Structure 1
Amino acid sequence: MQEVSDITNQYQREILKAQLEMQEQTFRYISEEIHDNIGQLLTIVRINLSMIGEVKHVDSDVVTVTKKLLDDATSGLRGLSRRLNAEFVGQQPFSNSLRLHLNLIEAAGIHRVSLELHGEETEFEPGVKVIVFRIVQEALNNILKHADAHTISIALMYFPQETVLRIRDDGQGFDASKLNGTDRQKMGVGTHTMHYRANLIGAQFSIESKQGAGTLVQMTLPANRTAAM
């Protein structure tokens, strides 16, 4: 009973930690999005409004464009506000959370992204979903920081006995042989944490990569950690 209690407490602590990390990671993306995209939209709106104030006859096209820019900025801010809410991930289908996160990456204009769904989508347990999403965030963060990739693709495959999640990039790759062996001390902190969290929720986790051949991150979760939507 004590062992079960310790495992349960450890699991709950990891969920909370993952939620906090998830928010911190999202804050960084949102800061860049506001600066690079929404900030530019509002700057153009301000210029257009200044032009309108200086002329006697307002060009209807300028007004239409300005309204469209404001709509885009408002829509962008609404989407960003949803991402700030850790509960939003728990309330949405997992594929929606992935798609929103990939869209945020794509908005930076550096990477092409894609999401493929196979099979009938089933939902993760709430706590499991938070941990899986945080593992995805960590994997994507590694790609953005180290891979020098052009494309990022995620495949989410639902089978009767398991759910398989694959994250692939076309970056420079690396020697991943030491990551999947027994010597975990050679792993970076982020990679070790992904392995640890996957093990905590009963998932199999692996990273495959070669120099110049990109990287594949794969996680397989047994069906007993999901529930029908």
Structure 2
Amino acid sequence: MVTGRDNAAVNRSGKAPSWVHQNHASAGWGTWPDRIEVAAPYVLLTLATVFASLDGEPASTYWLAALAAAWVALTDTLGRARWPGGRLLPLVSFGGILVIASVLMTHDILFLVFMIIGFFHALRLEPRWLRLAGLVITAFLLHGLANGGLPKALTTMPHVFLTVVLVQSLTIWGGSVMADKIADQNNARKQALAELNAAMAENAGLHRQLLVQAREAGVLDERQRLSREIHDTLAQGFAGIITQLQAADQADPAVWRRHVDAALALARENLTEARRSVHALAPEALDAAQLPDALRGVARRWSDRTGVPIEFTTTGNSRPVHPEIEATLLRITQEALSNVAKHAGAGRVGLTLSYMEEQVTLDVRDDGSGFDTSMLPPDGGMGGGFGIAGMRHRAQRLAGTLTVEAEPGGGTAVSVNLPAIPVGSAL
């Protein structure tokens, strides 16, 4: 027998919703609920007819039973298969079953077994108010005819009769509404699950895309790092070597050796820095010295090569900071001094390293020719090279800032400000 819950959960198409079949399928029933629902009217009608035949019913009773079977076959069994989505056919089938079952009950009370089918067919009616009306009519006829007819039922304790009709109808109707709600919730959960699966698939695709983009960004970042390292080390070193060799070519024999030795020292230093850049290592100057000492050495070597005096000053409480911070300050110092040697024509240079509570600042000042800062390209570069743009990019990578102040004939000041991140902290 089909459970009341499954019959109550029929949808507007007149067929049990998919969750009913899936629940039965998961329990091993397969399509048995549908088959039992189709077979139930014939089984109950046959049982009622057999029991009634024991009382010696007239032939008209059997003809009515045959008519009932034909009506169910045409309007329900075949009708549901041929027009599964209609609303009118279930109502017609329901009305015919009530009429035939009522007539059969007047012949023999045992046919109330067949009248019970009216409850199941009423649950297929839509909208819900019509479903409730069908249940009330079925209960009214079933209990009225079973108690000696409708007139007797309405005159003998009518309040009990009506209470039974209403309670039974409302109980079945309420169960059907609850079943519909549960079915809607199950369908909503299935839809949400399908949307979740689709979102997860989309997220997986986005994740793969992000991995590709991160890989490409990593490649680009590494290229930019190598470009900056080549510019700050190899390019500057080669420029210094060429300058020393040119000076040696034009120098007297007494100073020729000094320029050649300076060129050889630059070449060795350049080779070492090139190898360290390829392996993403910190500058060699920071290996065996703290940042102030490393900057002092850079300033001294630069002054020896260029002949321009440089004054290095440290302010604040000197302390180790993150290696990336120190390496960035060293590279910016090298680039700024290289720009002074190339463009400024300065007579003196000042280099100041300042330690503050949360920041570390580097200032490079010269008394050279200066320039008009409004002539800088939008990216901050000079002459299409890396220059100021490269220094600014290095600072911004570490949440720092770089400013350039200059005026024609008034010298140039480059100032970089970086967070004083302690050693061992994550960037």
TM-score, normalising length: structure 2: 0.39
Give the match for residue 29 of structure 1.
240
Between Structure 1 and Structure 2, which shows a larger proportion of strand residues? 1
Supply the distance in 2 between the matched residues of 1:214 and 1:32 (Cα, whole angstroms): 23
Structure 1 residues 128 and 5 mapped into 2: Cα distance closer, same or farther (>3 Å)? farther
Point out which structure has higher relative CO (alpha carbons under 8 A, 6+ apart): 1
Supply the distance in 1 between the matched residues of 2:360 and 2:223 (Cα, whole angstroms): 24
Q: Offset of 1:195 from its aligned partner?
A: 1.8
Q: Offset of 1:116 from its aligned partner?
A: 0.5
Ranges in structure 2 where 5+ consecutive residues have no aligned partner: 1-206, 277-283
Give the match for residue 18 of structure 1.
228
Supply the distance in 2 between the matched residues of 1:77 and 1:84 (Cα, whole angstroms): 11
Supply the distance in 1 between the matched residues of 2:320 and 2:222 (Cα, whole angstroms): 19
The one-letter code matched in structure 2 to 1:85 is T
The one-letter code matched in structure 2 to 1:173 is G
Between Structure 1 and Structure 2, which shows a larger proportion of helix residues? 2
Deviations 1:10-49 (A, max 9, x none): 5554444333331332343255457758xx89x659xxxx
Deviations 1:200-225 (A, max 9, x none): 1211110001122111000000122x
Aligned positions of 1:85-96 closer than 5 A: 85-86=272-273, 87=276, 88-91=284-287, 92-96=289-293
Aligned positions of 1:17-166 closer than 5 A: 17-21=227-231, 22-30=233-241, 32-33=243-244, 81=268, 84-86=271-273, 87=276, 88-91=284-287, 92-108=289-305, 110-166=307-363
Structure 1 residues 29 and 93 mapped into 2: Cα distance closer, same or farther (>3 Å)? farther
Structure 1 residues 186 and 121 mapped into 2: Cα distance closer, same or farther (>3 Å)? closer
Counterpart of 2:310 in 1: which secondary structure? strand
Indicate conservation of the 8 Å contact 2:363/2:413, yes or no.
yes
Aligned positions of 1:181-192 closer than 5 A: 184-185=378-379, 187-188=381-382, 189=384, 190-192=387-389
Larger radius of gyration: 2
Structure 1 residues 23 and 185 mapped into 2: Cα distance closer, same or farther (>3 Å)? closer
Deviations 1:39-61 (A, max 9, x none): x89x659xxxxxxxxxxxxxxxx
Query: Root-mean-square deviation (CA), in Å?
Result: 3.8
Deviations 1:157-195 (A, max 9, x none): 01111001000000111222465xxx7257424222222
Structure 1 residues 185 and 10 mapped into 2: Cα distance closer, same or farther (>3 Å)? closer
The one-letter code matched in structure 2 to 1:227 is V
Structure 1 residues 77 and 161 mapped into 2: Cα distance closer, same or farther (>3 Å)? same
Ranges in structure 1 where 5+ consecutive residues have no aligned partner: 46-68
